[in-house]
Amino acid sequence: MSKPIIATASLAGCFGCHMSVLDIDDRILTLIDLVEFHKSPIDDIKTFSKICDVGLIEGGCCNSENVETLREFRKNCKVLVSVGECAIMGGLPAMRNGIPVKDCLEEAYLHCPTVDPADRMIPNDPELPIILDKVYPCHEVVKIDAFLPGCPPSAELIWKALVALVEGKPLDLTYDLVKFD
Amino acid sequence: MPKQGIIKTILARHKKDKSRLIEIVRDVQSALGWVPPAAVAEIAEALNVSKVDVEGVATFYHFFSGAPAGRYAVYLNDNFVAGMKGRAEIAAAFEKEAKCRFGETTADGLIGLHATSCIGMNDQEPSAIINGVVFTKLTKAKVKQIVAAMKAGRDMARLVTTCGDGANQSKLVRAMVTNNIRKKGPVILAPFKPGEAIRRAVTWTPEDVIAEIKRSNLLGRGGAGFPTGLKWDFCVQSQADRHYVVCNADEGEPGTFKDRVILTEQAHLLFEGMAVAGYAVGAKEGILYLRAEYAYLKNHLEHVLEALRKKAIIGRNAGGKKGFIFDIEIKMGAGAYICGEESALLESAEGKRGEPRDRPPFPVTYGYLGYPTTVNNIETLCAAARILAKGAGWFKTLGTAKSAGTKLLSVSGDCRKPGVYEVEFGLSLQKLLEMVGGRDAQAVQVGGPSGTCVSRGQFERRIGFEDLPTGGSIIVIGPHRDMFDVVHNFMDFFIEESCGWCAPCRVGNSLLKRKLEKIMSGKGTIRDLSDLESWGRIIKTMSRCGLGQTSPNPILTTLQNFRHLYESKVRHDTDFVTEFDLKAAVHAASGVTGQKLTEAHHE
Ligand SMILES: Cc1cc2nc3c(=O)[nH]c(=O)nc-3n(C[C@H](O)[C@H](O)[C@H](O)COP(=O)(O)O)c2cc1C
């Protein structure tokens, strides 16, 4: 059997969950033996050229491009996993959800004390993704098959989840892996 | 500015005592119609607490407001039964006459329209509280009259032309509320001669009084069913130089109103029960924590207390026992269901936000002001008094093996005879429905939103701790009602009443409601049903107090007992439907930046 193929993406996240993947230390070598990485910031492959077995999503959707990427992942991955608080709940970026998007943009680009007075404008280049009215958790946009909680999920949790997915076995989550305080 | 003078007077009236913060804020609210930031600052400074402490209290309770609530502030009950009885029409009439919408106050500050959780009048809906006066069985014509009277600057109390029955007619009450006592039983609603219980109790040792209560198998009537004798025993066992008896008169579970009727007609029995408890646990002071919605009964209750003091049933030499002192103070709530939870109640009685405490320690060891306290429901204390008067053996002949005695039921909804019924435990729902004229019910909500929704096929089930425990709320749901509307209303209630302390309850209930709405709109899938179940279980197990631990019950018990309704609503051809709409989601930002979605965005 060929190696299972994994794709990853960071949407409205901080890359902390990706860093946590790297935190599995030297087991990354074992992982590379076990799986093949496809579209992912880890190997910088930018476009899907084949169907992947597992997609790992960090971050929720805060703009139109996030939605597009997430939909593309859904199309190209057999199993899609929300990794970490932001993908699952919106996380820190979702703190803006109670504030109208207009107020957010104006505060950030017009009124904030650190804005250069000579250069006050809300970015509007057509090439830029458009901000959504609020930050959405991934499972409200596409179907998500599994959730790995944490901020970030520990390396151990990600490792165990990946091994379980790759080997097709049930995931054995011990209490210490999902206890956060 | 006259305002400063007012606040100084109020602060002086309460001796700048910070445990009286709620009373202070209440007085400010009624003097000014709201609690302005300047008042918050002044109170904080005078009491030497932080502004946040004062603001915390001023924003926690329904009847305090951070914006002018209107010189006439209308609080219209918005529970499901009010809806059954035509609340929507009444709300529309208020909006039309007052020319202002719910949640707002007229520009001149005259009239404010507010929705509020159950005010304990389910047997006479639609109902509202306006400037402390209760209006029941509202009609469009009455609304017209009321608003006209407001515009003429009249006192709301003057609009009460016909009073209800019994003590509702007394000079001290003068309320249009009716008791609707449909069935009197031997424990709570039977005549009671003041002194019968306490005079007997004081001839015994406190240990013997507790032993008698234990022998009676009396279980708490507030919902949790804790053995009363054991609670008193724990309280006595906690060494301290003071003990307290607190009566829980918060009665906030939607659909219950039996405590209102006890307070109106049998307050002497209740206060005597408190005296018995005081004697048993060695307390000198008792507190009646009365929900703000029942403020119209306060003068009446004070009057009953005064009469009992004169008869030496409470006060000095209570029960005729030299040296035994037991007196009762009434403390008012300010509108918050959570304050019925005993530890939140104690926080509120101490003048703070009504947020539950971590337990243990339980109130019996660490209660009011940190002293050992027994918190009991009104009906429990009444039963305790009756047991002292008539004996544990007699009490146990009533009810069933595990549920001794009688239970007051507050029956409302789709039935011909709503009101209060004192029945023996063990009564089947079928028999109850026959009694109340609600035979054709499709469902009965037992124990309010936090209880169980029982479907037609299970009406042989019985009221009692072995099968269907209940604090007393019984809502009959007729065959023409949409069960989803019921569940939705109940979830609204929990979202409104969550104190916000724990995330599972604060966030989880909103998520459950959104999921429910998705299903109601025909976009749900089987997966959404299993999400409801698993999220509901998380909220139940991860919340700190009984509110969160029961808040998913409307959904979970209907998923269990009305599964077919959910299954007929969800789509079976797919396991995922999204409600996300990209075009709608970028609308606001493209309005600001002028950016447009490109082709690529349209899938
Ligand atoms: C959210 C919530 C609301 C409650 N409301 C009431 C109430 O209004 N009246 C009441 O007696 N008990 C209420 N309880 C139960 C009390 O916490 C407590 O168990 C009861 O007052 C104890 O009295 P008992 O032993 O006589 O039943 C409530 C509990 C919770 C969790």
> Read out DSSP for B572-585?
SS-S------HHHH
d(CA A69, CA A65): 6
Question: What pLDDT, on the 0 to 100 scale, is given for residue B599?
Answer: 65
Question: What pLDDT, on the 0 to 100 scale, is given for residue B1?
Answer: 45
d(CA B263, CA B247): 12
Amino acid A40 reads S
Q: For the domain B183-396, what is the CATH code?
A: 3.40.50.11540
CB contact under 8 A, B596 and A143: no
Question: What pLDDT, on the 0 to 100 scale, is given for residue A1?
Answer: 54
Per-residue pLDDT tens over the stretch B92-109: 999 999 999 999 999 999
Q: For the domain B483-569, what is the CATH code?
A: 1.20.1440.230
Q: Tell me the CATH number at A12.
A: 3.40.50.700
Of B112, B124, B30, nearest to B75 by C-alpha is B112
List, by residue range, all CATH 3.40.50.11540 domains of chain B. 183-396
Average pLDDT over residues B279-290: 98
| Cα B551–Cα B554–Cα B556 angle in degrees, nearest 5 | 95
Average pLDDT over residues B218-244: 97
Question: What pLDDT, on the 0 to 100 scale, is given for residue B602?
Answer: 54
Ligand 1 center to B301 CA (angstroms): 21
Q: Is the pLDDT of residue A107 over 70?
A: yes
A152 belongs to a structural domain: yes
E strand or H helix at A56, and its extent? strand A52-58
Per-residue pLDDT tens over the stretch A64-88: 999 999 999 999 999 999 999 999 9
d(CA A100, CA B588): 8
Confidence class for position A171, pLDDT limits 50, 70, 90 = confident
Of B561, B574, B456, B595, nearest to B524 by C-alpha is B574
- Name the residue range of residue A16's domain: 5-92+134-178
Question: What pLDDT, on the 0 to 100 scale, is given for residue A2?
Answer: 78
Chain centroid, CA B49 distance in Å: 29
| Cα B449–Cα B529–Cα B475 angle in degrees, nearest 5 | 20
| pTM tops 0.90 | yes
CB contact under 8 A, A68 and B601: yes
Of B255, B290, B263, nearest to B63 by C-alpha is B290
Question: What pLDDT, on the 0 to 100 scale, is given for residue B601?
Answer: 57
CA atoms within 13 A of residue B362's CA, in its CB half-sphere: 10
Q: Is the pLDDT of residue B547 over 80?
A: yes
Average pLDDT over residues B116-135: 97
Site to probe by mutation for ligand 1, drawn from B187, B342, B355, B357 as the one with most ligand atoms within 8 Å of Cβ, is B342
Kindly report the average pLDDT of chain B as a whole number: 96
List, by residue range, all CATH 1.20.1440.230 domains of chain B. 483-569
A113 belongs to a structural domain: no
Number of domains, chain A = 1
Per-residue pLDDT tens over the stretch B167-178: 999 999 999 999
Is-contact B377 B222, C-beta < 8 A? yes
Quick one: B321 exposed, middle or buried, by C-beta within 10 A (0-12, 13-18, 19+)? middle
Dihedral sign for Cα atoms in the order A135, A138, A139, A142: positive
d(CA B603, CA B599): 8
Q: Is the pLDDT of residue B3 over 80?
A: no
d(CA B123, CA B353): 30
Chain B touched by A178 (CB under 8 Å): no
Name every residue in B having a CB less than 8 A away from some CB of A: 575-576, 578-580, 582, 584-598, 600-601, 603
**A17-31, A87-101, B45-59, B65-79: which range is least confident on average?**
A17-31
Of B472, B479, B489, nearest to B415 by C-alpha is B479
Is-contact B347 B353, C-beta < 8 A? yes
B588 chain-A contacts, CB cut-off 8 A? 100-102, 133
CB contacts < 8 A, A to B, total 63
Kindly report the average pLDDT of chain A as a whole number: 93
A119 belongs to a structural domain: no
Q: Alpha helix locations (H) across B48-175?
A: 51-60, 80-84, 87-98, 140-151
A123 belongs to a structural domain: no
Secondary-structure breakdown of chain A: helix, strand, coil percentages, each rounded to the nearest 5: 40, 20, 40
Dihedral sign for Cα atoms in the order A160, A161, A164, A166: negative
> Read out DSSP for B159-213?
G--S--SGGGGSTTT--S----EEE--SSSSS---TTTTHHHHTTS-HHHHHHHH
A47 belongs to a structural domain: yes
**A27-41, B17-31, B35-49, B541-555: which range is least confident on average?**
A27-41
Question: What pLDDT, on the 0 to 100 scale, is given for residue A25?
Answer: 86
Q: Which CA distances in Å does B423 have to B222, B236, B269, B507?
A: 16, 32, 18, 39
Is-contact A56 A159, C-beta < 8 A? no
Residues 53-92 of A with CB under 8 A from B: 64, 67-68, 71
Average pLDDT over residues B27-56: 96
A41 belongs to a structural domain: yes
B598 chain-A contacts, CB cut-off 8 A? 126
Q: Is the pLDDT of residue A125 over 90?
A: yes
CB contact under 8 A, A131 and B586: yes
A141 belongs to a structural domain: yes
Long-range residue pairs from A38-42, CB within 8 A, at least 24 positions apart, any chain: A38/A5, A38/A6, A38/A7, A39/A7, A39/A8, A39/A9, A39/A76, A40/A6, A40/A7, A40/A8, A40/A9, A41/A8, A41/A9, A41/A10, A41/A15, A42/A8, A42/A18
| Domain B406-477 fold | Ubiquitin-like (UB roll) (3.10.20)
A64 belongs to a structural domain: yes
d(CA B100, CA B109): 11
Q: Is the pLDDT of residue B31 over 50?
A: yes
Per-residue pLDDT tens over the stretch B436-480: 999 999 999 999 999 999 999 999 999 999 999 999 999 999 999
B578 chain-A contacts, CB cut-off 8 A? 140-142
User: Residues with Cβ within 6 A of ligand 1?
Assistant: B 220-224, 226, 248, 250-253, 337-338, 340-342, 375-377, 380, 545-547
Chain B touched by A140 (CB under 8 Å): yes
A106 chain-B contacts, CB cut-off 8 A? 592
CATH number 3.40.30.10 is the correct assignment for the domain at B72-161: yes
d(CA B197, CA B321): 13
Mapped onto helix, strand or coil, the DSSP state of residue A106 is helix
Give this complex's ipTM. 0.94
Which residue in A has a C-alpha nearest to residue B593's C-alpha? A124
d(CA A63, CA A128): 9
Which residue in B has a C-alpha nearest to residue A139's C-alpha? B578
- What percentage of chain B carries pLDDT values higher than 90? 97
Atom of ligand 1 nearest to the CA of B252: 8
Per-residue pLDDT tens over the stretch B332-370: 999 999 999 999 999 999 999 999 999 999 999 999 999
